[in-house]
Structure formats: C-alpha cells, structure tokens
Amino acid sequence: MRALWRTARVLLLGLSLASLSLCGASRFHIPPHEQVARVARFVAHQVDWASMATIATHKPVVGQPFSNVFSVSDGPRGSGSGVPYMYLTRMEISVQDLEVSAVASLSMSLAQTDYCRQQSFDPQSPLCAHIILSGSVQEVNGTEAEFAKKALFTRHPEMIDWPSDHNWFFAKFNITQVWVLDYFGGVKTVTPDEYFQATPYRKHH
C-alpha cells in the first residue's frame, strides 16, 4: 500500500511539473517578427524590469547618458496596458536627473526572461527580441496611480513593504518612439499609435 501511495505521489508530482512547464511555455507565444508593434507590446508586458537612461546631473558625469535599473510593470499578468509604470523616490539618483530633464529611454529584453536562454539565443542576438522606448517620465495621480499601484504591486509584492519615509510615488513612461530588434535586418521603428493599437497576445475565439 505504501509503495502504491509513493507511486501515486510521483505521478502527481510529474503531472504538476508538466503543467507548470506548459504554463511557462504558454507565456512565450511570441507574435511573428513581421508584426513589429505586437512584438514590442509582448516584450513590454513580459519583463519585470528595465534599464533606464537619463541625462546625468551629478558630477563628474554631468550631461552624459546615465543608465540605471528600475522595476517596471505595464499591468498585471495578462492585462498589459503597454504603458511602463514605475515606483520612484526623489532620493534616487536617476530620479534627481529626471527632475532636471524628464527625457529618458527604457531598454527591455526577453533576455530578462528564461526564453532566450532556453532557445540558446545570446542576449545580443537579434532573435532575442528587445525594445528601446524613447520618451519621458511623468508622475501619475488619481485613478491612473491606482492602476499603477495594482500593476506594480501584483508583480513586485516586495514594494508594499518599502520604507514609507522615502516618499514613494507612481510614475509612467510617456512613449514618443518605439525601437524594435526582433529579427535580422536591423532595427525597426513603431509609432506610439501603432504600439498601443497592437495586442501582445493571440485572440482566442
């Protein structure tokens, strides 16, 4: 009887792992590379962080590009808005740059997920899709701040317990241009209208 129970547990564990594997794979129904705007939306929704470049205001690099890592979310899993939201404090060095000039760029790559590694794609390979967003950072309030809070806290639950005396605020990245590298042939551009009209996932009927 004990042997039968052990066998049943092994089978159940195998089924659970297979189910998890399928769920993980289902996250990566990447849109066809020629559907550039959809690829951009897909990457923006899959990643949990981005490298943001600002114009430095601190010596000795004043006026130079300054890249830093920020947690981002465009919405809860499966409900992406396309807008990257961030949880920021004015104590942070890059945020101080933004207070002088709000212009910035965000870089996001599927190398930040398991996908490229599983496909044996180097992060620099065009097949390891990545996007660069040009634009500016803006604080949000009201209902948009509530959406940003849900978007970020569902995917970054540690944020809930960050020190309240840091005066955190929610911000969004206002996109003015989208650059996409997801295949051979060079970088492609997408307008904000094309980007927001695209859907990152297949529609099921």
Q: How many CB atoms lie within 10 A of CB 67?
A: 13
Asked if residue 23 belongs to a domain, the reply is no
Asked if residue 2 belongs to a domain, the reply is no
Asked if residue 28 belongs to a domain, the reply is no
Phi-psi region of 170 (alpha: psi -120 to 50; beta: other; left: phi over 0): beta
Q: Is residue 21's pLDDT more than 80?
A: no
Asked if residue 11 belongs to a domain, the reply is no
Asked if residue 167 belongs to a domain, the reply is yes
CATH number of the domain that 110 lies in? Answer: 2.30.110.10
What number is the average pLDDT over the span 166-176? 98
pLDDT tens per residue, range 41-88: 999 999 999 999 999 999 999 999 999 999 999 999 999 999 999 999
State the residue for tokens 């051979």.
Answer: 184
Write the single-letter amino acid at 176. Answer: T
Domain residues for the domain of 111 are: 34-195
| CA–CA separation, 205 and 201 (whole Å) | 13
Which two three-digit tokens encode residue 103? Answer: 């212009």
Structurally, how many domains does the chain consist of? 1
**pTM assigned to the model:** 0.84
Asked if residue 100 belongs to a domain, the reply is yes
Asked if residue 19 belongs to a domain, the reply is no
| CA–CA separation, 160 and 145 (whole Å) | 14
Asked if residue 9 belongs to a domain, the reply is no
